[in-house]
Structure 1
Amino acid sequence: MINWKIIACFAIIAVLTGACRKNETTPGIKDGNGQPAKPVKRPLGLVTGPAIAKAIGPAGGTLASADNRILLEVPPGAVQTNVQFSIQPVENTLEGSPGKAFRLLPEGVAFTRPVTIRYTPGAEELAGINPDVLFLAYQNKDGYHYLAANTSIDPATHQLSVQTKHFSDWSIVELFELEADTTQVLPGGKAQLQLMWHLGSLLTVDTTDQPIGDLIPYDGQVSKVKWSMASGKGKITANGAKCEYQAPGEVPDENPAFVSVSVPITLYDSKRTGLAMLTTPIFTMPDEYLMVSVDRIPFINNPPENGESSIRMEVDKFYVSAQLQDGHAIYILIPGGVMGTGSFPYGEDDKKAYIDFSTNATDILNSWVTHKLNCEDCDPVFSGGQVKISKNGKIGEYVEGEFTAEVWKIGQYNPPKKQLSGKFRVLRTI
């Protein structure tokens, strides 16, 4: 049995090199009309939690957020008198950013010596992401985000750090993203892939931090972009920052295929030069399937055995369940009878959805469900998201749908959580 987690983690390793020189700058970033792409003004994030504050004086000191996600190191001599430093969680308004956002104060105070900001991404932020394309980013008081080009990364812990003489709202951003128009194709089908990035200005020799615009097609060192099949079946046809994947003529045993792209990291005055690799999975899907992404790691139902599918379903109370590769299992239920299409939020009444996801189909203690209890006497908290049934055919036709959910480990108060998303298509038999 192929372990998709190992493949996904292996595939996103960046190959760092020293080939890029400091005086090499990337060509101008253009949008589809050939004009310089412009930075985007975004709203400042609303406060989402209490601030952690501490007075730090000329001797220096440290301050960490309540979750230890972000740490400030104030060196001796950075301030001349006692200054109130604070860290407060806020909404992250930078779309596509996989991390949290924090408001660092005091804002508008110029430090005599640079203060170090350290951000340690959590497992949920790193899932399915190449850490070497992560940078720290900040938003100024006018609402514009900037990528901090001098962000360094610890290869062992993936901790990001940067030195700054000013405070504002800070978060993290992926320098590159790999987009696919679909991650599931029929046998012989095709998927279109494209390398994207967030930078939105012309890179000049006197520019360090880059304004962050909308996610746009990569238009940097396109001639150095390289595409490859990291694993799996199928073939690719590369064209600069674009690539077409064609699936094999039948559903392969090795599924999904992983398509990779490598791209130089070249920013003026940056510590992060090298070659980054991004990878995305493409499933060759049978007529019936149930596909689940767990914290961005994809899984698909086991292939049929003896002509019998590993997916089960009923329509009168609507459930669909599947044994997944890697020993996982999933059960999706909407009680009360679902005769048509629609969207169903999570809850405990009829027409409310419920998901039980198991990381070990034979061990109930490894179940993750769409409700939790924060204390013994607390009311249940239900997941956001929904189950959406987009097609509910007659007997002999297909039932199709998709779902998103936050699931919590069963049997614990304030339990850990996982993010689920997925799609299914099952032939209706009753």
Structure 2
Amino acid sequence: MKITLQVSINVLLALFVLACNSKNDPVIPSPGAIPDKISGTITPVGTVTGAAVTVKIGPNGGKLESVDHRIRISIPAGALETEQTISLQPLTNQCPAGKGNAFRILPHGTTFSEPVSITFQYRETDTNGSTPDFLRLAYQDKKGIWQSPRVKNLDTIASEVTIETTHFSDWALFQAMYIEPKQSTLNPGGHQQLTVLQTIDVGDPKKEYALIMAEPLSAKYIEKWALNGEGLLTPQGSRAYYHAPSWIPDINPAAVSVFFNKSLTINGKEYKNIRLVSNILVAPEGLSVQLDRGDWHTYPGGANINGTLNVILGRDGNESASVAWKGGPTGTFHWTKGPDVTFNLVKPKINYMHLYGLGPSLSGGLLTVDNSDETWVTGTFTVSPAGWIDRSKVKPETGVSSVKGVFRVRRID
């Protein structure tokens, strides 16, 4: 009863939003695309998040691309009879399982004599918990339902998904199938439920789908779940339950995979040997360091992500550990001889760092940072070999060690 009531409220809210915009309808459907009754999920229309990009295109055709290169419109010669002003405007993405901004392509109501190509460029994060094969494009019709046409081309080298259409609407990139959560972080001993979700009807031969809010995939498609890492994985059909070890594991993050026992048909295309993966990082709060595969030591601390020199610092009494890097708040970074990417561990007598020897030589290893969560900055690092200097000796001694690290810290304002 609670679910039915919520659906009714959502439908009434969406119809109210559409009615308020009836004088200037922001979405125009393609002829015959709207079903006689509501068969998909209604969502509100996206709100504008940036300035529009415009260009005049006539009978000879032309192209238009967003400022962030996220979307590109290609209008072939002969598609328009007269010159028109075409525009692209970024919107909030209301599409189920939507990725990044949606875009309003104007003027709505424009129809073309030849199909127009719409291409979205996807990023690596858009495929988290899924695969490029399950990325789709959708437009929002006049009833507020998202419709997904067949993919014309998927280019995994250029990271692009392309469809063809004869009309303009609000368009978005979304995932047709994925694991939820796509990635997560747990305390040692914590647990996580994982679910395989779909936003279109798998196996339906339709050329165009009305999207649904994400729901579990039928268990008949699941062959097995698998865990690469420590802990316990308990499969239950389209769901699985991961229980993390009570310690920081050696393989971190752990990879939970789901395999399918049947081919999947989406938009008329058959997919075989599909595997989806969710990565689960196991880390206590703080910056944790392991020396030479010994016991882990966790230093309570925080993250200062400021766009210039980003620092994660932990401290425990008179000991401290830190990693610092210049560049984006998320990514993979190599240690540098200068101050751009650094590691330091300061103990009462010995200091460890990302340099070693008298040269000094630059340590191998990587720093990986994820700043996508609203609360936590997480990541891992390795320093191999790490250099150390013992300052307690009359003549300081030097040597090398192997260092592993993991962190889960809050941002410091």
Same-fold call, TM cutoff 0.5 = yes
Q: How does 1:257-406 map to 2 (within 5 A)?
A: 257-263=254-260, 266-267=264-265, 269-271=267-269, 273-285=271-283, 288-290=284-286, 301-303=288-290, 310-313=297-300, 319-320=301-302, 330-331=312-313, 359=333, 360=335, 364-366=339-341, 402-403=375-376
Q: Contact conserved, 2:137 with 2:172, CA < 8 A, in 1?
A: yes
Q: Could you say what secondary structure the match of 2:212 adopts?
A: strand
Partners of 2:139 and 2:148 within 8 A in 1? yes
Aligned residue identity for 2:134 = V
Task: State the partner residue of 1:59.
Answer: 60
Q: Mean Cα displacement is larger for which, 102-111 or 266-275?
A: 266-275
The 10-residue stretch of structure 1 (158-167 or 270-279) with the greater mean CA deviation from structure 2: 270-279
Partner of 1:217: 216
1:78–1:114 CA contact under 8 A, matched in 2: yes
Letter in 2 for 1:312: Y
1:89 aligns to what?
90
Identity of aligned residues (%): 27
Cα deviation code 1:256-283 (max 9, x no counterpart): 3211113467445434634432211234
Q: In structure 2, do the counterparts of structure 1 residues 272 and 90 end up closer, same or farther at CA, with 3 Å as the change threshold?
A: farther
Q: Quick one: distance in 2 between partners of 1:358 and 1:267? A: 35
Name 1:44's counterpart in structure 2.
45
The answer to whether the 8 A contact 2:227-2:233 is kept is no
Matches of 1:59 and 1:223, distance apart in 2: 51
Secondary structure at the residue paired with 1:112? strand
Show the counterpart of 2:133.
132
Return the alpha-carbon distance in structure 1 between the equivalents of residues 184 and 377 of structure 2.
17
Where do 5+ consecutive residues of structure 2 fail to align?
5-37, 305-309, 316-328, 343-370, 379-406
Partner Cα distance (2:244, 2:373) in 1: 30
1:233 counterpart residue number: 230
How many residue pairs align between the two structures? Answer: 297
Q: How many Å apart are 1:111 and its aligned residue? A: 1.3
Equivalent residue for 2:153?
152
Of Structure 1 and Structure 2, the greater strand share is in 2
Cα distance in structure 2, aligned partners of 1:98 and 1:80: 34
The residue that corresponds to 1:34 in the other structure is: none
Q: How does 1:116-195 map to 2 (within 5 A)?
A: 116-123=117-124, 125-126=126-127, 130-180=131-181, 183-184=185-186, 186-187=188-189, 190-195=191-196
Q: Secondary structure at the match of 1:132?
A: helix
Q: Which letter does structure 1 place at the counterpart of 2:249?
A: P
Answer whether contact 1:312 1:321 (CA < 8 A) is retained: no
The one-letter amino acid paired with 2:298 is I
Partner of 1:3: none
* Equivalent residue letter for 1:278: L
Distance in 2 between residues matched to 1:361 and 1:202, nearest whole Å: 48
CA shift for structure 1 position 164: 0.8
> Could you tell me how far apart the structure 2 residues matched to 1:45 and 1:198 are?
19
Deviations 1:148-206 (A, max 9, x none): 3335310212201001111101110011121259752644x65332111122x69755x
CA deviation after TM superposition for structure 1 residue 135, in Å? 0.9
State the partner residue of 2:323. none
* Amino acid corresponding to residue 214 of structure 1 in structure 2: M
Residue-by-residue CA offset, 1:333-390 (whole Å, 9 max, x unaligned): 9xxxxxxxxxxxxxxxxxxxxx9999559854348xxxxxxxxxxxxxxxx9998xxx
Ranges in structure 1 where 5+ consecutive residues have no aligned partner: 1-30, 32-36, 291-299, 314-318, 323-327, 334-354, 368-383, 388-401, 406-421, 426-430
**TM alignment of 1:246-257, pairs within 5 A:** 246-248=243-245, 251-257=248-254
Superposed, 1:10-29 pairs within 5 Å as: none
Secondary structure of the equivalent of 1:114?
Answer: strand
Change (3 A) 1:158 1:182: closer
**Deviates further, 77-86 or 122-131:** 122-131
Pick closer, same or farther for the CA change 1:272–1:116 going to 2, 3 Å: farther
Shift of 1:61: 1.8
Letter in 1 for 2:186: Q
Question: Which residue matches 1:12?
Answer: none
Paired AA for residue 233 in structure 1: E
Structure showing greater Rg: 2
Question: Given the superposition, is the C-alpha separation of residues 362 and 95 from structure 1 closer, same or farther in structure 2, using an over 3 Å criterion?
Answer: farther
How has the CA–CA distance of structure 1 residues 157 and 272 changed in structure 2, closer, same or farther, with 3 Å as cutoff?
Answer: farther
Higher relative contact order (CA 8 A, sep 6+): 1
Could you say if the C-alpha distance between residues 49 and 245 of structure 1 is closer, same or farther in structure 2, counting changes exceeding 3 Å? Answer: closer
Change (3 A) 1:277 1:110: same
